[in-house]
Amino acid sequence: MASFFEKRDPWGHSLSLWVVVLMIFVTPLLFGVLREIRQENNVENWLPEDDPQSKVLSWHRNSFGIEDRLLLSWDGSSLSDLRANRLKQVLLGTPDEENIRRGGSPYIQEVFTPQDAIQKMVDYHIEPDEAQERLKGVLVGTGMLKVQLTEAGRKRQQQTIQELISKAKQELGVDLTVKPAFKEWVDIVDESQGMQPEENAPDDDEDQVDFQALVAAIPAHDFQLIWPRMQPGTELTEQIKGLALSLKRPGIIPGTSAAEKPGGNDTSESQPVLVKDCFFAVGTPIAIAVELSDTGDADHAAAVAAVKKAAVEAGIPEDSLHLGGRPVAGAALNRMVKESSWNTAYPIWQFHRRSVTLFSGLIGIALAFLMLKSMRLACLVLLVSYYTTFVAVSIVPLTGGTMNMVLVVMPTLLTVLTLSGSIHVANYWKHAAHVDMKTAVTKAVEMARAPCVMASLTTAIGLASLLTSPLSPVRDFGLYSSIGCVISLLMVLYGLPSLLQLWPAKPPKASEIDVKHWHTFGRILSRHQMLVSVTCLIIFVVSCYGFKWFRTETKVIRYFPDSSRVIQDYLFLEENLSGITPVDTVICFDEAAQKNMNFVERVELVRQIEHKIAEHPEISGSISLADFRPVSEPLPPDASTFQKLRNAKRVNETERRVKESLEDGTVKSFLYVADKTVEMEQETDYGTRSVVVEKGDELWRITAQVAIMSDLDYGVLTSELNQATQSVLRDHAGTTHLVTGTIPLFLRTQQAVLESLIKSFGLAFAVIAIVMMILLRSTLAGLITMLPNLMPIGVIFGLLSWMRISVDIGTMITASVALGIAVDGTLHLLTWFKIGIREGKTKSEAVAAALGHCGPAMWQTSAAVGISLAMLYPAELLLVSRFGVLMCALITAALLADIIFLPALLAGPLGSLIVSSLKKERELAESVPLLQDGKETKPHLSHAIKRSQSERSLET
pLDDT (tens digit, 9 = 90+) per residue, 267-297? Answer: 444 678 899 999 999 988 999 999 998 898 8
CA distance linking residue 628 with residue 305, whole number of Å: 33
- In a 10 Å sphere around its CB, with 0-12 CB exposed, 13-18 middle and 19+ buried, how is residue 183 labelled? exposed
Q: Tell me, what amino acid is at 449?
A: R
Mean pLDDT in residue range 365-384: 83
CB 552, CB 750: distance < 8 Å: yes
The C-alpha torsion from 477 through 482 and 484 to 489, rounded to 10°, is 160
- What integer pLDDT is reported at residue 258 of this predicted model? 42
DSSP string, 442-471: HHHHHHHHHHHHHHHHHHHHHHHGGGG-SS
pLDDT bucket at 176, cuts 50 / 70 / 90: very high
pLDDT bucket at 944, cuts 50 / 70 / 90: very low
Alpha-carbon Rg for the chain in angstroms: 36
| Interhelix angle 440-464/472-490, nearest 10 degrees | 170
Looking at per-residue pLDDT, the higher value among 527 and 946 belongs to 527
Given a cut of 70, is residue 942 above it in pLDDT?
no
pLDDT bucket at 177, cuts 50 / 70 / 90: very high
pLDDT bucket at 256, cuts 50 / 70 / 90: very low
Predicted confidence (pLDDT) per residue in 871-888, tens digit: 888 888 787 788 888 888
Predicted confidence (pLDDT) per residue in 19-75, tens digit: 888 898 988 888 888 877 777 766 667 777 777 778 888 888 888 877 778 999 999
- What integer pLDDT is reported at residue 113 of this predicted model? 94
Mean pLDDT in residue range 715-744: 87
Given a cut of 50, is residue 266 above it in pLDDT?
no
Q: In terms of Cα–Cα distance, which of 802, 589, 795 is closest to 700?
A: 589
- What integer pLDDT is reported at residue 206 of this predicted model? 54
pLDDT bucket at 538, cuts 50 / 70 / 90: very high
Mean predicted lDDT score pLDDT of the chain: 83
Given a cut of 50, is residue 259 above it in pLDDT?
no
- What integer pLDDT is reported at residue 315 of this predicted model? 92
- What integer pLDDT is reported at residue 928 of this predicted model? 63
Given a cut of 90, is residue 366 above it in pLDDT?
no
Given a cut of 70, is residue 421 above it in pLDDT?
yes
Q: Among 106-110, 781-785, 941-945, where is mean pLDDT lowest?
A: 941-945
pLDDT bucket at 945, cuts 50 / 70 / 90: very low
Return the percentage of the chain with pLDDT > 90, whole number.
31
Given a cut of 90, is residue 145 above it in pLDDT?
yes
pLDDT bucket at 242, cuts 50 / 70 / 90: very high
Mean pLDDT in residue range 830-840: 89
Mean pLDDT in residue range 117-127: 90
pLDDT bucket at 762, cuts 50 / 70 / 90: confident
Q: In terms of Cα–Cα distance, which of 213, 206, 199 is closest to 123?
A: 206
pLDDT bucket at 768, cuts 50 / 70 / 90: confident
Predicted confidence (pLDDT) per residue in 75-92, tens digit: 999 999 999 999 999 999
CA distance linking residue 798 with residue 890, whole number of Å: 12
Predicted confidence (pLDDT) per residue in 672-701, tens digit: 889 889 888 877 766 778 888 999 999 999
135, 608, 622 from 612: Cα distances, Å: 16, 6, 10
44, 330, 449, 674, 709 from 557: Cα distances, Å: 14, 9, 45, 35, 8
Given a cut of 70, is residue 948 above it in pLDDT?
no
CB 418, CB 408: distance < 8 Å: no
pLDDT bucket at 511, cuts 50 / 70 / 90: low
Mean pLDDT in residue range 509-516: 69
Kind and range of the H or E element at 74? strand 69-74
356, 872, 891 from 369: Cα distances, Å: 20, 20, 20
CA distance linking residue 24 with residue 495, whole number of Å: 11
Predicted confidence (pLDDT) per residue in 553-606, tens digit: 777 777 788 888 999 999 999 999 988 888 899 999 999 999 999 999 999 999
- What integer pLDDT is reported at residue 943 of this predicted model? 45
Given a cut of 50, is residue 715 above it in pLDDT?
yes
Pairing of strands 619-623, 101-102: unpaired
| Interhelix angle 410-435/843-870, nearest 10 degrees | 140
- What integer pLDDT is reported at residue 204 of this predicted model? 46
CA distance linking residue 814 with residue 891, whole number of Å: 10
Reply yes or no: is the peptide bond before residue 285 cis, omega within 30 of 0: yes
- Give me the half-sphere count of Cα atoms (radius 13 Å) on the Cβ side of residue 821: 35
**Ranked by mean pLDDT, which of 202-216, 618-632, 925-939 comes out on top?**
618-632
Given a cut of 50, is residue 166 above it in pLDDT?
yes
